[in-house]
């Protein structure tokens, strides 16, 4: 059974890129904002990993990640932040709210795929 990756990004092009690029190896679910993603998770849906944009309407990536970390059964799900933000303070805040990794947009989809594989490999060993 394929691992499930939830992609949360308000940019349709990013959601489509990740769905197409990662779709052969993973089941990719997409949501266009943090509120949709949180509702989906609170309905009992599960993801093995979550890719989150920081700047989104309704519920930004920081708040979504904090909410995920507080939710039963979701505290250990890996979160990778995807953002065009370039400041070190944005990366630091991402890790402070519970992100496991941070990748700046525009990113190389191959690099993201390798980071995903590395996180899953570490989880398997733990």
Question: What domains, with CATH codes, occur in the chain?
Answer: 4-125 (3.40.50.2300)
What are the two backbone dihedrals, phi and then psi, of residue 8, each rounded to the nearest 5 degrees? -120, 105
Count the neighbouring beta carbons within 10 Å of the beta carbon of residue 83.
Answer: 22
Q: What is the pTM of this model?
A: 0.95
Over the stretch 49-65, which tens digit does the pLDDT of each residue have? 999 999 999 899 999 99
pLDDT greater than 60 at residue 4: yes
**pLDDT score at 126:** 56
Omega before 97 cis (within 30°)? Answer: no
Over the stretch 66-124, which tens digit does the pLDDT of each residue have? 999 998 888 899 999 999 988 999 999 999 999 999 999 999 999 999 999 999 999 88
Over the stretch 15-47, which tens digit does the pLDDT of each residue have? 999 999 999 999 999 999 999 999 999 999 999
């Amino acid at each position: 059974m394929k691992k499930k990756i939830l992609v949360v990004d308000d940019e349709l092009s990013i959601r489509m890129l990740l769905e197409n690029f990662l779709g052969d190896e993973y089941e990719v679910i997409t949501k266009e904002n943090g509120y949709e993603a949180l509702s989906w998770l609170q309905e009992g849906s599960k993801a093995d990993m979550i890719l989150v944009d920081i700047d989104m309407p309704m519920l930004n990536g920081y708040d979504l990640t904090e909410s995920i970390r507080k939710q039963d059964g979701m505290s250990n799900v890996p979160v990778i932040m995807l953002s065009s933000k370039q400041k070190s303070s944005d990366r630091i805040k991402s890790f402070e709210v519970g992100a496991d990794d941070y990748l700046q947009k525009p990113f190389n989809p191959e690099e993201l795929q390798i980071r995903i594989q590395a996180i899953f490999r570490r989880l398997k060993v733990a």
